Amino acid sequence: MENSWGKGEPTAVKAAGGVAVMRNLYYHVLRIRLVEEKIADLYPEQEIRCPVHLCIGQEAVAAGVCLALTKEDAVLSGHRAHGHYLAKGGNLAAMLAELYGRETGCCRGRGGSMHLIDLLVNFLGSTPIVASSIPVATGVAWAYQLRGERRVVVSFMGEAACEEGVWHESLNFAALHKLPIIYVCENNLYSVYTPLKERQPARGLAGLAAAHGLKTFAGDGNDALEVYKMALAARQYALSGAGPVFVELTTYRWREHCGPNFDNDLGYRTEAEFQEWQERDPVLRLEEQLRAAGVNFEMARVREKIIREISEAVDFAKASEVATFAPTPRLRQLADGGQASSYVG
């Protein structure tokens, strides 16, 4: 079988799901990385005035999980949502316009980086308050179940969300009703500057979910192929009617908690630890896996295509009308109880 990445499908490629899967994984992992790096480069211009929580170093989680979903499956997320939005198919230009506070943004320029939405691909929203989207996602899954719809919901969260009461309440409710939901925990080891070991005893977070009666998976969040295969298994289980799933994926953020810079100088993590995680770069790891599997393709061309797309999206955002917060007839209508129109990406 001929394809644009090489000849045939080596055994390792077939085991991972085929050439198309590996190609899409690489595209999304690299695309998220390049978008986030572009935002970091642009941020000092001070035209992006909202806070940004970048997911550089964590791209494999978003790419692997979302590739295992269908368009009809829904995703909700938290404050570090750029990767989830993009991997689910959210419109890049609308996301960047939102960061720039433009009317063409996915929330009309009024939400910023932490409030993303694209209903066209069932990315139902992201919210900045830790754990606040988890009960919403649980309710969406309940609605799907009550309506007899065969689709799942994914609720992305950081490990700090597992310390919130609503996390326990939501998991208990989902287990009780056997809801079709997958809770995906990106365990990046830190809540802002506080390491997990100073917040919780030495135990896996998946064990907490198992105590609530959930099926659990745990693995390397920097291995996109492993993430994808776990997500496929999780989706199959959730759709079977057996109940909800909790997936714990260990990963690491490279930049500061909020902002475009590196912050190793603050001393809450060591340079040695940071370098160790950089060696587990999800982008480079996937490139190595592709080469080892005998899949040959021009990575430079993929990168160039993405860079052009990002450049066009930035130009679109900067050229768009700045969002206005003055009362408009439409806003007055909403205030009077009118129906909000669907947000589009």
Give me Rg for the CA atoms of the chain: 20
pLDDT band at 10 (very low <50, low <70, confident <90, very high): very low
* b/e burial code for range 40-66 (CB count within 10 A of at least 16 → b): bebbeeeebeeebbbbbbbbbbbbbbb
In angstroms, the CA 327 to CA 323 distance is 12
Question: In total, how many domains does the chain have?
Answer: 1
Domain-located, residue 176: yes
Whether the CB-CB separation of 262 and 254 falls below 8 Å is answered with yes
Domain-located, residue 341: no
* b/e burial code for range 24-34 (CB count within 10 A of at least 16 → b): bbbbbbbbbbb
The average pLDDT across 99-116 equals 96
Q: What are 144's two structure tokens?
A: 């799907």
pLDDT tens-digit map of 155-167 = 999 999 999 999 9
Domain-located, residue 344: no
Domain-located, residue 98: yes
Domain-located, residue 107: yes
In angstroms, the CA 77 to CA 219 distance is 20
Angle ∠(308,311,313) on CA atoms, nearest 5? 110
Max intra-chain CA distance, the chain? 61
| pLDDT computed for residue 326 by the predictor | 73
pLDDT higher for 40 or 327? Answer: 40
Q: What are 166's two structure tokens?
A: 């609503």
- Domain range for residue 60? 2-335
CATH for 61: 3.40.50.970
Question: Where is average pLDDT lowest: 37-51, 246-260, 282-296, 303-317?
Answer: 282-296
Q: Does the structure show a pLDDT above 50 at 337?
A: yes
Q: Does the structure show a pLDDT above 50 at 6?
A: no
Q: Which of 25, 36, 92, 105 lies closest to 65, judged by CA?
A: 25
Are β-strands 181-187 and 245-250 bridged in parallel, bridged antiparallel, or unpaired?
parallel
Q: What are 202's two structure tokens?
A: 């030495």
Predicted model pTM: 0.90
Domain-located, residue 329: yes
Domain-located, residue 286: yes
Whether the CB-CB separation of 245 and 234 falls below 8 Å is answered with yes
Q: Does the structure show a pLDDT above 90 at 329?
A: no
Whether the CB-CB separation of 113 and 259 falls below 8 Å is answered with no
CB proximity list for 10: less than 8 A, separation 6 or greater: 293, 294, 295
Domain-located, residue 215: yes
| pLDDT computed for residue 197 by the predictor | 87
